Amino acid sequence: MTPGEPLVLGIETSCDETGVGIVRGTTLLADAVASSVDEHARFGGVVPEIASRAHVAAMVPTLERACADAGVALADVDAVAVTAGPGLAGALLVGSSAAQALSWSLNKPLYGVNHLAAHVAVDRLEHGPLPQPAIALLVSGGHTSLLLVDDVTAEIEPLGSTLDDAAGEAFDKVARLLGLPFPGGPQVDRVAVGGDATAIRFPRGLTLPKDLVRHRHDFSFSGLKTSVARWVQARQEAGETIDVADVAASFQEAVVDVLVTKSLAACRDTGVDHLLIGGGVAANSRLRALAAQRCEAAGVALRVPRPGLCTDNGAMVAALGSAMVAAGVPPSPLGIAVDSSAPVTDVSVG
């Protein structure tokens, strides 16, 4: 840590995690997260109203915990960053209101930032400044994209994205089908460890030669999800027992295979030899292992933050905010508007 680098506080409330992170430069000082996931579990998905109310209840305690963990006082903070989109509108409003109150009362600049860019920027905290340029594979519950990132504070060029379900959404839906609790991604990951990934050959979406022309860098997971549903239903109707571990492992392999294959194709097509993976699904153990193996074979340098920094947190927002401060990006006006469907190209939101 360089003394004198700005101390940036980041707030994340776009979905069901209330996150407050504190960084100085690229050094992570605190990463406090309170999750309302248990309150949504019985509904099988995130309920926006419940998430918003949980953010209101968790905001001040999480803020206090982050300051205590970092050993700093709010008065020491040099800038405040907050996720202003994309995400659930009511949930985003809680974080942006808190951030605006802090910015105003501390008289410090405010940065409304893009959640998706923050998923990419967080790796600064673990592996230092981002390679320029890099191909970023962004895989979360709501988004799946391949991006050409030159400067994460300014230039993100989308190369492709999912035409239907996000990768995380596919994990969550297949988990539900297999009777695993919400959120399903970590459950499928856990169960798949004991399964045979070659047991069932599930389809790899948008990988046929004709797809590789029109949708070379795009993804599709809804056909895979339907294929798993049909496979399970056929076995159930025949009265056969289903080996959940084999189905989970085979499904996971189909998702991960496509993600890694398309990421490396994007690296080849653009001549970029750095791949960065971010978002909740980047916590997946099989994705991390296969990406490491295939990147090494292809001579591509791989960067993936540790699992705790892949899923939603405030540190990623602070990491992007601190990069924006360092790059001299102008702060947002007080009174930022949240944008629930902010495109990944808008690094500053609101």
Binding positions for ligand KG4, rule: CB under 6 A: 15, 140-142, 168, 171-172, 183-186, 189, 279-281, 283-284, 311-312
Least Å from the CB of residue 67 to Zn ion: 23
Least Å from the CB of residue 17 to ligand KG4: 7
Per partner kind, with CB cut-offs from 5 to 8 A, the member of Zn ion, ligand KG4, none near residue 21 is none
Which CB, 122 or 228, lies closer to Zn ion?
A: 122
Least Å from the CB of residue 337 to ligand KG4: 20
Per partner kind, with CB cut-offs from 5 to 8 A, the member of Zn ion, ligand KG4, none near residue 171 is ligand KG4
Element (H, E) at 186: helix 184-192
Q: Helices 89-106 and 48-70: crossing angle, nearest 10°?
A: 30
Least Å from the CB of residue 234 to Zn ion: 35
Which CB, 284 or 332, lies closer to ligand KG4?
A: 284
Which CB, 87 or 331, lies closer to ligand KG4?
A: 87
Q: Which residue is nearest to Zn ion (CB)?
A: 140
Least Å from the CB of residue 141 to ligand KG4: 3
Which CB, 135 or 167, lies closer to ligand KG4?
A: 167
Whether the CB-CB separation of 15 and 91 falls below 8 Å is answered with yes
Strand-by-strand arrangement of the 27-35 sheet: 27-35, 17-24, 7-12, 79-85, 110-114
Q: Which of 333, 308, 338 is nearest to 125 (CA)?
A: 308
Per partner kind, with CB cut-offs from 5 to 8 A, the member of Zn ion, ligand KG4, none near residue 186 is ligand KG4
Per partner kind, with CB cut-offs from 5 to 8 A, the member of Zn ion, ligand KG4, none near residue 25 is none
DSSP label at residue 180: P
Which CB, 109 or 184, lies closer to ligand KG4?
A: 184
Enumerate residues 6+ apart whose C-beta is below 8 A from 211: none
Which CB, 228 or 349, lies closer to Zn ion?
A: 349
Answer for which of 31, 253, 312, 339 binds Zn ion (CB under 5 A) is 312
- Measured between its terminal Cα atoms, the distance across the chain in Å is 30
> CA 288 to CA 275: how far, in whole Å?
12
Six-digit token string for 19: 């996150």
DSSP label at residue 16: S
Query: Would you give the distance in Å from CA 153 to the centre of its chain?
Result: 17
The DSSP-derived string for 120-160 is HHTTHHHH-SPPSSEEEEEE-SS-EEEEEEEETTTEEEEEE
Which CB, 108 or 346, lies closer to ligand KG4?
A: 346
Least Å from the CB of residue 102 to ligand KG4: 23
> CA 162 to CA 170: how far, in whole Å?
11
Q: How many CB atoms lie within 10 A of CB 241?
A: 7
Per partner kind, with CB cut-offs from 5 to 8 A, the member of ligand KG4, Zn ion, none near residue 172 is ligand KG4
Least Å from the CB of residue 83 to ligand KG4: 10
The DSSP-derived string for 40-56 is HHTTTS--HHHHHHHHH
Q: Helices 222-237 and 244-270: crossing angle, nearest 10°?
A: 160
- By CB under 5 A, the residues from 128 to 157 that bind Zn ion are 140
Q: Which residues bind Zn ion (CB under 5 A)?
A: 140, 312
